[in-house]
């Protein structure tokens, strides 16, 4: 197993602390891509399966889905167990995208820095967008979530995860309500804190994860 401590480039102190520097993030995940799936399995990482299960009842066969920060493709593999979908993955790690392509579960893959908004997709072009384990690295997630409301059609859904520590410090409850007030989405589900990386000593007891599902108005 490759420990995340052996992968840290300048600007990326630890997996727990993360980074908001796209170059550091890309370098980190490029180095980790080859052992990423194996390592996450040893940490009992279940978020891709849980979010896929949360989202799937709102998807029809052939639904166009944007996997935001797709990495090596764990979310697409989880979705494939729930049905047949047209999945477009986007990520800034080129090596991770090669791993994702090898799964054969994506219709398209795009290498892109998600801080550069708007995203390179047309208005209402997707039935759903999923972002699992990604918002950790985006200090101000509101512009991205607003743009996902543009990319997803009216009636479509957006699902995302956020760590409990960052949910509090970045005031995600207020963020959700601002988008409700602005008529962009309604909140269908917000989970209680769930286990995130129970096999990782930095996360096991202290940091959990919240799953959120919203419907675009």
pLDDT level of residue 2 (50, 70, 90 thresholds):
very low
Given a cut of 70, is residue 10 above it in pLDDT?
Answer: no
Given a cut of 50, is residue 22 above it in pLDDT?
Answer: yes
Look over the chain and give the mean of its residue pLDDT values, rounded to a whole number: 94
Sequence-ordered alpha helix ranges (H) in 43-141: 47-55, 74-80, 94-103
Given a cut of 60, is residue 8 above it in pLDDT?
Answer: no
Could you say which DSSP state residue 44 is in? T
Give me the pLDDT at residue 7, please: 56
| Contact in structure between 136 and 18 (CB atoms under 8 Å) | yes
Encode pLDDT of 191-214 as tens digits: 999 999 999 999 988 899 999 999
Give me the pLDDT at residue 113, please: 96
Give me the pLDDT at residue 205, please: 82
| Contact in structure between 65 and 121 (CB atoms under 8 Å) | no
In 3-state terms the chain splits into helix, strand, coil percentages (rounded to 5) of 40, 25, 40
Q: Can you list the pairs that 86-92 forms with residues at least 24 positions away whose Cβ atoms lie under 8 Å?
A: 86/62, 88/64, 88/121, 88/126, 90/66, 90/114, 90/119, 91/29, 92/22, 92/25, 92/26, 92/29
pTM for the model stands at 0.94
Given a cut of 80, is residue 35 above it in pLDDT?
Answer: yes
Please compute the mean of the pLDDT values over residues 6-29 and round it to a whole number.
Answer: 82
| Contact in structure between 88 and 64 (CB atoms under 8 Å) | yes
Give me the pLDDT at residue 3, please: 45
Q: To the nearest whole percent, how much of the chain has pLDDT over 70?
A: 95
pLDDT level of residue 5 (50, 70, 90 thresholds):
very low
Encode pLDDT of 58-111 as tens digits: 999 999 999 999 999 999 999 999 999 999 999 999 999 999 999 999 999 999
How far is CA 29 from each of CA 9, 23, 150, 155, rounded to the nearest angstrom?
10, 10, 28, 33
- What lies within 8 Å, CB to CB, of 181 at 6+ separation is none
């Amino acid at each position: 197993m490759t420990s995340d401590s052996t992968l840290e480039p300048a600007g990326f102190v630890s997996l727990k602390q993360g980074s908001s520097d796209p170059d550091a993030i890309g370098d980190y995940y490029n180095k980790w891509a080859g052992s990423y799936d194996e390592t996450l399995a040893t940490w009992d990482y279940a978020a891709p399966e849980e979010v896929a299960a949360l989202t799937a009842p709102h998807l029809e066969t052939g639904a166009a889905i944007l996997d935001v920060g797709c990495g090596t493709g764990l979310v697409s593999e989880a979705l494939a167990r729930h049905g047949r979908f047209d999945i477009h993955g986007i990520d800034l790690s080129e090596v991770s995208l090669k791993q994702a392509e090898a799964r054969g579960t994506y219709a398209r893959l795009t290498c892109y820095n998600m801080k550069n908004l708007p995203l390179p997709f047309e208005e209402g072009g997707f039935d759903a967008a999923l972002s699992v384990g990604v918002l950790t690295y985006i200090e101000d997630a509101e512009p991205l979530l607003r743009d996902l409301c543009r990319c997803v059609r009216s009636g479509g859904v957006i699902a995302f995860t956020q760590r409990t520590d960052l949910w509090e410090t970045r005031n995600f409850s207020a963020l959700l309500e601002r988008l409700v007030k602005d008529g962009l989405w309604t909140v269908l589900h917000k989970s209680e804190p769930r286990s995130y990386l129970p096999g990782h000593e930095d996360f096991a007891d202290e940091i959990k994860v919240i799953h959120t599902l919203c419907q675009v108005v």
